[in-house]
C-alpha cells in the first residue's frame, strides 16, 4: 500500500462529527465507532460536552458500539468526557500506533473493517485506522474560539496541505 493510500480516509465527512448521521452509518454497514476526542468531540483543552454531542451520541448509540481512543495523556480529562458520554475509553494511545485501536476493536467484537476510526487528524487518526484495516472517517474539528491559536490547528493544516501534495483527497466524498 502506498503512503498516500495510508493517509486517504474512506469517507471525508466535510463537517463535524455530529453530522455523521445514522443513515451514513447504516450505508457503510458500520457496527462500531472509535472516536478521537480532542477537536473531534470537544475543543482542545475543554471537557464540557455540548448538548449537540450528547444528542448525537444518544442517536447513534443504538446502531453502533462506541469507544473513545485518545492520544491525550490526561486520564482525568478523557475519563471525565467518557463518563459524561457513558462510553469506554483509552487515553495515551500513541496513534498512529495500532495497539490501542486494536484493543478497542477487539472489545467491540466486530470485524475490523466494520469499525470506523473517526477523527480530525490525517497523520494520527486516519493513518492508524488505515494501518489496522478499519474504515476511516475524516471530520472537521470542533470549533473553538481558541482553535486558530491551537498548535494542533497548525499541525492539522500542515497535514492536510502535505497530504494533498501527495495525492490524498480531503474533499467531501
Question: Which pLDDT value is given to residue 145?
Answer: 46
**Which residues of the chain fall below pLDDT 50?**
145-149
Q: How confident is the model over 84-103, as pLDDT tens digits?
A: 999 999 999 999 999 999 99
Question: Can you state the angle between helices 75-85 and 51-60, rounded to 10 degrees?
Answer: 60
Inside any domain, residue 172: no
Burial class (CB in 10 A: 0-12, 13-18, 19+), 133: middle
pLDDT score for 173:
61
Q: What is the pLDDT of residue 142?
A: 86
Burial class (CB in 10 A: 0-12, 13-18, 19+), 149: exposed
For 28, the grid coordinates are 457503510
Inter-CA distances, 8 with 27, 59, 81, Å: 19, 27, 28
pLDDT of residue 165: 76
Across the chain, mean pLDDT equals 90
Report if residue 171 sits inside a domain. no
Q: What is the torsional sign of CA 151, 82, 20, 169?
A: positive
Residue 121 belongs to a domain: yes
How is residue 85 written as a grid cell? 458520554
Q: Is residue 144 part of a domain?
A: yes
CATH at residue 39: 3.40.50.1000
Q: Give domain status of residue 170, yes or no.
A: no
Q: Would 104 be classed as within a structural domain? A: yes
Domain that holds residue 53: 3-165
Q: Is residue 133 part of a domain?
A: yes
Amino acid at each position: 500500500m502506498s503512503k498516500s493510500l495510508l493517509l486517504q480516509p474512506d469517507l471525508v465527512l466535510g463537517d463535524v462529527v455530529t453530522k455523521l448521521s445514522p443513515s451514513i452509518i447504516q450505508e457503510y454497514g458500520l457496527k462500531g465507532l472509535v472516536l478521537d476526542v480532542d477537536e473531534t468531540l470537544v475543543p482542545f483543552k475543554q471537557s464540557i460536552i455540548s448538548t449537540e454531542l450528547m444528542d448525537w451520541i444518544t442517536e447513534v448509540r443504538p446502531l453502533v458500539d462506541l469507544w473513545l481512543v485518545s492520544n491525550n495523556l490526561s486520564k482525568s480529562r478523557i475519563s471525565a468526557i467518557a463518563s459524561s458520554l457513558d462510553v469506554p475509553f483509552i487515553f495515551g494511545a500513541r496513534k498512529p500506533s495500532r495497539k490501542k485501536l486494536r484493543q478497542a476493536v477487539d472489545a467491540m467484537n466486530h470485524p475490523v473493517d466494520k469499525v470506523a476510526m473517526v477523527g480530525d487528524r490525517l497523520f494520527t487518526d486516519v493513518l492508524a485506522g488505515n494501518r489496522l484495516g478499519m474504515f476511516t472517517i475524516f471530520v472537521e474539528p470542533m470549533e473553538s474560539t481558541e482553535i486558530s491559536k491551537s498548535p494542533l490547528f497548525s499541525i492539522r493544516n500542515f497535514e492536510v496541505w502535505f497530504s494533498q501534495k501527495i495525492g490524498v483527497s480531503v474533499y467531501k466524498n
